[in-house]
Amino acid sequence: MSLATQDSAIRTGRVTRTLIYLVLLLFALFYMLPLYVMVVNSVKPLDEITGGGMMNLPQVFTLEPWAKAWSSAQIGVDPTGLKPYFWNSIKMVVPAVIVSTVLGALNGYVLTKWRFRGDTILFGLMLFACFIPFQIVLIPMARMLGLMGMAGTTWGLVLVHVVYGIGFTTLYFRNYYAVFPTELIRAAQIDGAGFFQIFWRILLPSSGPIAVVSIIWQFTNIWNDFLFGASFAGADSQPMTVALNNLVQSSTGVKEYNVHFAGAILAALPTLLVYIVAGRYFVRGLMAGSVKG
């Protein structure tokens, strides 16, 4: 599934080409517009925005909104800024990503190299779990977290994200390991390597690319999640997205658009960075979730 250009056989005239470039450019502007608005307005004083200058570059450059969004904006009842919620997200994302990726790798290994009767059905069950509307599990999940004493905790959220993420991580590793030569596994078996030794010594050293895909995908998904955060997080475990929404939706006081924009960028920054640094893998993850080939 490469996106590399090939020697296309289609020839286009000069006028057509100009038009094509024009359309492409127009859409590039369309996609950049909200980001431009966010960035530009996050470094302006508030009155420049309310005065109708949303599209203008800042006349007075200020990092004040960023500082405020980060450390002193009113979120819920406390003027804490987004900082504590940022760390909540980190504390939730890191373990959830690691656990779901490790489980996905092991599952993919079993489902491709230790096949047994009915394994495809089991995989189908796991995969379908990624696509359900999560509304269907909200009520029982809330009860379950309560029963397990994890209601409102970061660990509760980690559990939720692991459960609803393993379908995808399993899919990634399964598709990747499916084309990993089975003869290598057999050779290792004859050499006397056991189940975990084969995984650890033979498969894992070659799993770098897919592990990156899985990690990026899980990181993006979990970081960006709102539904589970809003449903299951307690006051001191709310993730970044929930806090941002609280910040933006708060009905008290003046609407500080510049702070909202700065907050939105702060919430988007980690995933955006990942996308820019490792976009190739990000795209591959997206594609594997759709075209399973």
Residues 247 to 276: which contact other proteins by CB under 8 A?
A: 248-249, 257, 260-261, 263-265, 267-268, 271-272, 274-276
Binders of other proteins among residues 144 to 173 (CB under 8 A) are 144, 162-164, 166-167, 170
Is 68 a binder of other proteins (CB under 8 A)?
Answer: no
Q: Which of 91, 193, 212, 250 binds other proteins (CB under 8 A)?
A: 193
Binders of other proteins among residues 77 to 106 (CB under 8 A) are 103, 106
Q: Which of 82, 92, 141, 215 binds other proteins (CB under 8 A)?
A: 141
- The nearer residue to other proteins, 52 or 253, going by C-beta atoms, is 52
Binders of other proteins among residues 206 to 235 (CB under 8 A) are 206, 220, 223-227, 230-231
Q: Which of 186, 200, 209, 236 binds other proteins (CB under 8 A)?
A: 186
Q: Which of 77, 53, 48, 84 is nearest to 65 (CA)?
A: 48
Binders of other proteins among residues 22 to 51 (CB under 8 A) are 23-24, 27-28, 30-35, 37-38, 41, 49-51
Q: Which of 68, 86, 93, 107 binds other proteins (CB under 8 A)?
A: 107
> What's the closest the beta carbon of residue 63 comes to other proteins, in angstroms?
19
> What's the closest the beta carbon of residue 82 comes to other proteins, in angstroms?
12
Residue 75 has phi, psi (to 5 degrees) of -125, 120
Site map 48..67 versus other proteins, x via CB under 8 A: -xxxxxxx------------
Is 132 a binder of other proteins (CB under 8 A)?
Answer: yes
Q: Round to whole Å and give the CA distance between 78 and 169.
A: 37
> What's the closest the beta carbon of residue 75 comes to other proteins, in angstroms?
13
